[in-house]
Amino acid sequence: MRDRLIFAGQLGFTLLVAAFLVVPVVLSISAGVTVNYFRGIQSGVTLQWVVQVWNLYAGEIGLSFLIAFATLAVTLIVGVPAAYGLHVKGGRLSRVIEEIITLPLAIPGLAIALALLLTYGGFGGFRQSWLFILTGHVVFTMPFMVRSVMAVFASVDIKTLDEGAASLGASPWTRFCNVIVPNAMPGILAGSLMVVTLSLGEFNLTWMLHTPLTKTLPVGLADSYASMRLEVASAYTLIFFIMIVPLLVAMQMFAEKGEKK
């Protein structure tokens, strides 16, 4: 009896927290398909606001996904070898480098953006391109990839596996592709999920780095809330969820399958 009461209490609390988080999202999304938000659902249901948002912000949506997957590519190419090198070398210098890599986690996005502007803002072409935002996203998300991969390396005797492959005559590149990467796959998948999620939703850093021609999803969403009807802004939120939630679910399922293997 006591266990049932405890379970019922835990379930009730979980459902209450879930409702507290989900209900505002549902109300915001429903406003995007309502003819007039202030009159409520009785004013009718329409997709005109969704169509209007797509016509106005299709470029921002495409740019966000381009930057997110470019960020993922850079963090994979740089982060995985860096994590392996830091784990294998060890020592005080490796720990110092690791702390430097993870430093952006403790620094506000606005401060990172300001540092990038002061350092590279004078390069006009670079400053006005989406590559400038990509640089900020890489700096911001790299710690998540490195830490995720290093956590896996800490649970696997990767150094012994690498030395065993080397004793059999495998080249460094072969060992990295056939030994290191497969063993690091759970961390790589977890890091990839975090990198894409953070890049798509990052606002503070992107808001400082963007130009009128390089707006991303979160920046466009903020602009729509500030300058347009509430229905249009809510329709933007609806499109945001339609495009991002399936992607994140698919990546999560892929990550779980990778961990089982």
Note whether residue 18 is domain-resident.
Answer: no
Tell me the residue ranges of DSSP E strands in 92-134.
Answer: none
Q: How far apart are the first and last CA of the chain?
A: 40
Secondary structure percentages of the chain, helix, strand, coil, to 5: 85, 0, 15
134: CATH: 1.10.3720.10
Q: 45 in helix, strand or coil?
A: strand
Residue 261 has pLDDT above 70, yes or no: no
pLDDT (0 to 100) of residue 66: 93
pTM: 0.79
Note whether residue 200 is domain-resident.
Answer: yes
**pLDDT tens digits, one per residue of 5-60:** 887 888 888 888 888 878 877 877 787 788 877 777 777 788 888 888 888 778 88
C-alpha 19/C-alpha 43 separation (Å) is: 25
Number of domains forming the structure of the chain:
1
Domain housing 131: 59-215+255-260
CA-nearest of 195, 189, 182 to 156 is 182
Confidence of residue 201 (pLDDT cuts 50, 70, 90): confident
pLDDT (0 to 100) of residue 141: 92
Q: Which two tokens stand for residue 154?
A: 């800490």
Note whether residue 188 is domain-resident.
Answer: yes
Taking CB atoms within 8 Å and a gap of at least 24, the contacts of 23-29 are 25/237, 25/241, 28/234, 28/237, 29/234, 29/237, 29/238, 29/241
Residue 159 has pLDDT above 70, yes or no: yes
Note whether residue 50 is domain-resident.
Answer: no
Note whether residue 130 is domain-resident.
Answer: yes
6 burial (CB, 10 Å; 0-12 / 13-18 / 19+) is: exposed
Q: Average pLDDT, whole number, for the chain?
A: 82
**pLDDT tens digits, one per residue of 104-146:** 878 888 888 888 888 888 887 888 899 999 999 999 999 999 9
Tell me the residue ranges of DSSP E strands in 179-223.
Answer: none
**pLDDT tens digits, one per residue of 71-106:** 999 999 999 998 888 887 777 777 788 778 887 878
Note whether residue 239 is domain-resident.
Answer: no
